[in-house]
Amino acid sequence: MKKLINLLFVALVFTLSSCGPNAQEEAEKARQDSIMEQQRLDSIAVVEALEAEMLRIQDSIQQVAIIDSVKAAEKYKYNAKPKKVEKKVQSSDTRGKKKTSTFQSKIKAEKKVQETDTKAKKR
């Protein structure tokens, strides 16, 4: 009976030790875990790089839009035809009569200045 109990005990020990993972299986599991962790870190790095690229592109688009609007404003400013404005000024001359004059020559001078500015910017 004592031999039978010892035999069953030894069989039980071998059975329990064979059920658990051995060193080779544990090493393989650790290797797989490290590979999965590296893949996870790589995918996070790719996502962060894509986000940075998207932000850079959005910033570039905004800068181009600002530059285009400034150019359009300058083009309008220098290419728009000034409205003909006639201001009438009443002044009295030596005889006491009222004299009316227009400032069209002043408007022409301003237009020439704008044209020269436009030519200078094109250079």
DSSP per-residue codes, 85-98: ----EEEE-TTS-E
Q: What is the pLDDT of residue 64?
A: 92
Q: What pTM was estimated for this model as a whole?
A: 0.41
Q: What is the pLDDT of residues 87-100, one digit of tens each?
A: 554 554 445 444 44
| Per-residue pLDDT band at 43 (split at 50, 70, 90) | very high
Total count of residues recorded for the chain: 123
- CA distances (Å), 36 to each of 10, 21, 44, 47, 65, in order? 39, 20, 12, 17, 44
